[in-house]
Structure 1
Amino acid sequence: MSQREAQIQQLEEQLASIKGTPCDIYSRVVGYHSPTNHWNEGKKEEFGKRETFAVNP
């Protein structure tokens, strides 16, 4: 095994040991913020179709 392959294998093992934690996503709906994981299926689908834009005066 080459040095590069050994390094790749070592990095893959390190990557496999990394554990994450779930995070909540909040979005503003009709004037208030709410966690998206509490939304019904229709609202979740609509959220995925939203586009972000900026308004420049």
Structure 2
Amino acid sequence: MVKKHKGTLAVIEQIYEDIPAFTDIFTEESFYTFVFCFVCATIIVAFILSRFITLKPVEF
């Protein structure tokens, strides 16, 4: 059982090393730019979807 735990830990450590850190991906300015674009895109998608989706009350 100890061997299995070491193997699992090695896999987790390898995955952790392969995933880039937050600071490797974003600088402060690029993060704020990403958030601004993401929020704008979310608002646009919600607006477009609101034109095609209508909610109707459930009648019993």
**TM-score interval (norm. to shorter):** 0.3 to 0.5
The structure having more radius of gyration, on CA atoms, is 2
Larger proportion of helix: 2
Question: With structure 2 as the length reference, what TM-score do the two structures score?
Answer: 0.35
Higher relative contact order (CA 8 A, sep 6+): 1
Question: With structure 1 as the length reference, what TM-score do the two structures score?
Answer: 0.37
Larger proportion of strand: 1
